[in-house]
A and B are shown apart, each in its own frame.
Chain A
Amino acid sequence: MDRRKSIKTLLISSASFAVLAEACKSDDKKTVTAKDIPVAGDSGLDRMKEEEEYEKQLMANTFFTPDEMATITLLGDMIIPRDEVSGSASDAKVPAFIAFIVKDMPRHQTPMRGGLRWLDVQCLNRFGKSFQHCTAPQQVEIVDMIAYPKKAKPEMQQGVAFFSLVRNLVATGFYTSEIGVKDLGYMGNVPNNWNGVPDDVLKKYSISYSEKELKECISFG
C-alpha cells in the first residue's frame, strides 16, 4: 500500500478525526494564536521551534570534504552493493544520510575523519595512492584486511574499528531508506486490523492460540 493510500485509510478508519481536528481549531482561538502551534520544518515532521533552529543550523554546516564523501560513497557501495533484491547504498542516498548524521551526532566525527585518513595513509603506503584512486582489486585487498574483526591482524585493529562503524552507519542508513525497508520486507506502518499470527505461521512453529485467547481477544472477520 502506498503512503497516500494509507493516509486515506486512516481517515476512513476514524471518520471523526477530521471533524474533530476542525472543531479544535475554532475552540482554541481564545488563548492560542498561530505562533503557538508547532510548525513542521523541512522534514515535514512535527517540530518545536528549538528543534527547527537546531536543524537549520545543522543544514547550514558541512562536515566532510568532497574527497571524504567520495570515499564514503565507495565504501558504502562495497558494503551494500546492488543485488537481485535491491539497490545499493548510493541508490538509497546513504552517503547523504551519513553526511547529515555526523553533524547531528558529533561523536561520530573524529572516528570517521580519522578512520578515513587512516585508510588513505594505508593505501598510500601500500599502493602509492589514496583509497578512492586505487584500483578496484586494491580497494578490495585493503577492505578485506579490516572487514573481518576476528581474523584481522593486530596492527589493523584501528581499521577494523573504523570499518565496523562505517558498516553500521551504512546499514542503518540503507535499511531505514525506502529501498532498504522494502528489501527487508517490513510490512507495517499502515492502518490495518491485527487479527493475530497467520495460520500458516502458527502451524510452522507448532504453536496455537488458547481457547481463552480466541474467546477474549479482539478478532476481525
Chain B
Amino acid sequence: MDRVLSDKKAIIIFVLPAFLLFAAIVIAPIFLSGYYSLLKWDGIGKGTFIGVQNYIDLFVNSSEGFGKSVLNSIILALLSVFVQLPLALILALVLSSGVKGENFYRTVFFIPVIISTVVIGQLWMKVYNPSYGLLNTFLRGIRLESLQMPWLGDVRTSLLASFVPIVWQYIGYHMLLMYASIKTIPDEIYEAARIDGASPFKMAMKITIPLIRPILKVCVIFAIIGSLKVFDLVYILTNGGPVHSSEVPSTLMYNTIFHRYMYGSGSAMAVFIVIECLVFTVLVQKFFKVEEFTY
C-alpha cells in the first residue's frame, strides 16, 4: 500500500481517468461558458462577438433584474449561515451527547438530504397550497385564518416561502458533518471539564465549538456556495416568480438561455456565479484563519 502511494507514476495513472472526466465535464465547460459570455448568441444560429457588453448589461440596465436576484441569493446565504447552521449545530450537539435513539434520529434528520429535490418541491407545493395545503389548514385550525395567504403566489411571501424547504433540506447534512467532527473529540477533555464543574452549555461553548472549527468552516463554505447557486427548489416551487419576486441568479440564467434565446447573456450570468463563489470562498477562508488544535 505504501509502495503504491509513494510511486508517483502509479498515482498519476490511477487519478488520470477521474481527472480527465472532471476536466471534460467541469473545467472545460466553464471556459466554454466564458467564451460564450462574450457573444450575442441565440444558442442555435450564429453568434456575434460583443466583448464584455453582456456583463455591463447585467448590472446597468438589466430588464430582468439580475442585481435583485443576486441579492436574493445572498439573503439565502445569510439564512443558511445564521439559521440553518445553528440549527444543525444544536442538533449535532444534542445527538452527540448520547441521547436515547441517537442512531435513529441521526438517520431521520438525514433523510431530507437524500430525497430528490423534485419530490421535496412537490411536497412543499402541496403544503403551501392556498386551499387545501397543510400550512393554511393549520392556521385555520388554530384560529389564525387571517394569516392565510397564497404563499408561493404572493410577491411578498414567495421568496421566504421558497427558501424554507431549501434551508430545511440540508440541516441534516450539516448536522452529520458536525456530529462526526464532535465525535472525534476525546472524552478525556470533557471528563476534566466535568470535574472542574462545567455545565453542558459551557462545555459546548468553550470546548466543542472551538475544537470543531475546521468543520464549521467547511459547513459555512458549503452553505454559502450552495445558496449562491441554488436552482432546483426555486425552479420547482416558483420558477422565480411571481414576477421575479423569488428570482435567483440560476433560475434567471436558465430562463434567459432557454426562454429568451440569449445564450451569451446567460453564460455571462453563469461566469459571474462562478466568480462570486470563488470570492466568497476566499473571504470565508480568511475569516476563519484556523489554528490546528492538537490534543
Q: Do A and B come from one complex?
A: no
Residue numbers of A with Cβ under 8 A of B are: none
